[in-house]
Structure formats: C-alpha cells, structure tokens
Structure 1
Amino acid sequence: MRVLLVDDEPLQRLLLMRALAPLGVEVGEARNGREALDLLQEKPFHLVLTDLHMPVMDGLELTQALKAQDPLLPVILLTADREREVRLKGLQVGADDFLNRPVDLSELRLRVKGHLERRRLQEELEELEKTLLVLVRAVEAKDAYTAGHGERVARYALFGAEELSASPEELKDLRMGALLHDIGKVGIPDHILRGDHPLTEAERAYIRRHPVLGDEILRPLKAHPRLRPYVRWHHERPDGSGYPDGLREVPLLVQVLSAADIYDALTSGRAYRAPLKGEEALEVLEKEAREGRLSQEAVWALRSGLVRKRALGPR
C-alpha cells in the first residue's frame, strides 16, 4: 500500500515518515498540492496525508482536486487549526479525517491503518465485482439476442425504483442485483440456453434452476444478503406461481426488477419474433399485473420511469 505525504516542511515530513515506518507502507513525498497531483499522475496512492497550510496549493484545494478524480481515495487533513470553520471547510471539500498538530503518532498510525484497510477491502470488492460482471457478459455472449441484457434491465429497474423514492443505498444494491440477476445461467449448457429448439420439460427445469445457482455463486460475498433477493427471487410472482421458492410476499424492488426483466425481453428481438414496441410491452405487463402475476405498483413505477426518461421503445 502507498501513502502520499504532502507538507511543505521537510522536518515534518521526516517525522511523519518515521512514524509510518512500522506500518510497512511505501511513502511518497510532496511539498504542496501541485506536486502531489503530479505524483498521482505517475502512480496511484491508496491514501493522502496532507497539511492544511501550504504554498502553491493548500490542503483544501488539494482535497477538492483529489475527490474530483477519485471520490473514494481517503484524505486525512493535518491542521493546527481547531476552529469549527476549518473542519467544516474540510468536510465540504470531502476530507475523510482530521488530525490535530502536534500529531499524536500512535493515533496517526491507527487512523492511517484503518483507512488503508477500508481502501484495500474496497479495491478487493471492485475486483470481485469486475470478475462477476465478466461472468455475466460471458453468459450473455452465448446468445446474441441477450447481449447487454443485464445493463438494460439495471437501467430500466433504476428508472422504476426512482419513482418509488428508493434510497441511494437501495438503488446501489438494485443496480448490482440487476446486473447479476442471471449470473446463475453460467452453469447452464449452451444448447439449452440458446433456446433455438423446442425445450423438453427436463431442459426447462434446468433453466429454472438458474436463480438458485446464482444465489450459490454470490454466497461468499459480504453483500450476498442484500443482493440475494434480486438474484434468487426475480422470477417469483405475487400469486405464488413463480420459482424457485413459490413466494407470495415478494419485495417491491425485486418486483420492479422482474418487470424490467420482462420488459427488456419483450422489447428485444428474438429468432422467433420481432421486438414489441414499448407501449405494447407495457400493455403485456399491465395484463400480468391485473391477473396477479406482477405487482401493479411495480409496473406503474416502471411505466412512469420510462416515460420520465423518454426511454420507451425497442432497444
């Protein structure tokens, strides 16, 4: 892990570098914010520890510039100013933490260690997310008709969820759940998945296993409890006719995903039929809702979101 230390005082930089040595991190040095930004162009750092008062570019300007480039990069401001105004300005530009001068070196090490650990975990999750999305795209690549399906379903589902005033955290989980909702299909043979021949009952049963397979694939993730409803239950129906668990109480945002999934399937072309227009697909969804197989509120939210975003129509 690499820490960038930004301070115009050489002795202060030396003191802080020695204090960080027990952590076993690589430390880069800069005398002001401009030098720090130049160094970050050369190689990435996992945390920035910066003084507040410096020539050329001070700590507040640097923090603002860093957060514009990478909002998740941890930035700790070192300051002798204890006034509330200074800390408020730091928070406004995105500072993650503050340390008062003179610096308690033990506290410094603990704060830096904590932020670096969170950064490491975040990067690991990003890599895992990328790997999972590669798997999803590999599934979609098996059939030209499903290319981009996950991204489109996520976009439509978010349109609907916004109409229901979902929180930012719910939107984030919904987006990832929608992208991954068909990941279980990675375990289904290509000749079944393509559906270019009439499927036998055994083959249909195999396809219906994909929500359970997807649930098992995501089980090791820390986010599994939040993503599980979207992956396992996106084929559940309020009348109990869905699968794999035959639920009747299906979370509303999962039903929004279900509606978005069907909408994309209907408005996408297949070998055996032309795509429906957006209004035609919504009429199908509304009929399903009237007959109890979809939530009327979810279908209304999807329609409202698509209209608001001017996204009706075939892809």
Structure 2
Amino acid sequence: MADFRSLEVFYWVATLSSFRRASEQVNTTQPAISQRIAALEHEYGTLFERRSRDVALTERGRVLLGFAERFLALQAEMGAALAGTGRTTGTLRLGVSETLVHLWLSRFIERMRAEHPGISVDITVDISPNMQAALVANELDLAFLVGPITLPSLTNHPLLSVPVAFVAAPGLVTEEEPLSLGCLLRHPLVTYPRNTSPYVELRDLVLRANLLPSQIHTSASLATIVRMGIERLGICVIPPAVVRDELASGTLRILSAEPTLSDLTFTATYANRLDSHFVADAARIAQAVARTWAEAR
C-alpha cells in the first residue's frame, strides 16, 4: 500500500503537472520522484499520461488524487491537533496589489500577528497578472489581487471593490467639465501597466471611440503614478481612495468625466494545496479587515 511520502509526491506531480517542479517542491531529485510514481503505477495502474512538456492525470490518477488529498489533509489536521501548544508556525508568502498597500494592508498584518503569532509574513508587492503566475507556480501562498481568477486550481474569496477615476493636479485641465473622452485625451494619461485591467479598459475606450490616443504613461509603482500626477505630467487613472490625503489637501482633484471606468474588484486568492492549512484562515482575516475598512469609509 502507498505510504504518505509517496502520496505526497503523487499529489505534487498531479497538482503541478510536472516531475521537475514536484521535485523542487518536495526537495528531492527527479529520479526519486520517478521511482515513487513508478511504484504507485505498478500497484494501481497508469496514473499519468506523459506529454512533451508536462503530465496529465488519467482516470485512475484522478481517483487516486481524491484519496491522496483526503489522506494528506487528515495528516495535516493530526499534526495541528498534536502540536502541543496548538500554535501554528510557518511563513505566509503573500502577494499584494500596491493599491491595497495604501488602503488596509497594515491592519491585516496586525490581525495576523494577533491571531497567528507563529506565522511570519513574507510580502511581495506586484501587479495581478504576475501574482497569478506566482500562485500557479507555487511561489506565493496567497495573493490580494484583481480577480477573481477563473482557474480550477485556485480558490477566490471576495475582498472589496474600489472605484477608479480620472485624477489630476489643479489647473492642469482647463476644459469645461464634465470632460469628454476627447478632452481627456488632449492630456497625457498615467495609469497601471499595460497588462492590467485599468490600462486595457482605457485602451478599449479609445479604440471604440475611434480617437487618436494621447500619450499613455504606465508604471507598476502606484507611488510613481501619483507623483507624476502631482507634478502635472498627466491625468492619473487610479482609485481616488489611494490619494485621500492629496485630495483633502487640494494637491490633486477628481475630474468630472463622461466616460465611466469599472471598479477594481479584489479577491484573496490561493492555490488548492494541503501543506499550508493557515492560508485559508489568512484569506478569512483579509475579508474581515477589508469589510471593516469599507464600512468605515
């Protein structure tokens, strides 16, 4: 009968669709991975279809995966129950959109410290497409990103939605408001990178209107976008929530414009894996913090 280690190896090969990536995950060699899979297939039949770049589960493999997940989940539950103090330890590899860094990330860290004092949080600030790829590659445990991500291997929990608007320094725009898209395009625009939803929506608005595009500057750094707006280098296309202080002081203002922009909808997204049972609880904490922040606005 298969032992826990073989089931763990099988689980990671099935989840990552790769012998190489599974070997990195469980910290062993590819020949050792192959040997364990061969032993399982000798006992249960063919579990994987070998392809040029990856592997795919057979029908037998899908059946075994269900049992493997149950065995490994029970093992994790047993370990937590017998830990003595009950205190979970480990590291949460967290990816965060910079927008949320400016809103409530510090409150989330405080709640995590209070509820999971044994968990360290390793934070990566990045754009959502990069964080999605990192989740799939098992380089992140949890990400607060623009979602949901419709992949069967990922779980999404809704966090909040924030409006996006055209924001500029006073005096930069002299046209009468509300501004048409044509008036807006007389000025440079500054927004998120090209592979993000705000940029794509902005580009599509211009294409549908059959207008000549203005300069559209992009940056992965929200702080850079805001600074460019303050220095009158263009109109920012960002959530006003991240520049509350600048709006209150009059350094920036929200422009009244006819084209409406979609809200940014954020989710707490994580891969369906068994080795970090505190990840789902971290997503729950993020939901609570986001809800409290939204209610206080």
What is the TM-score with the length of structure 1 in the denominator? 0.20
What is the TM-score with the length of structure 2 in the denominator? 0.21
- Compare the two structures and name the one with the higher helix fraction: 1
Query: Which of 1 and 2 has higher RCO (CA within 8 Å, sep 6+)?
Result: 2
- Compare the two structures and name the one with the higher strand fraction: 2
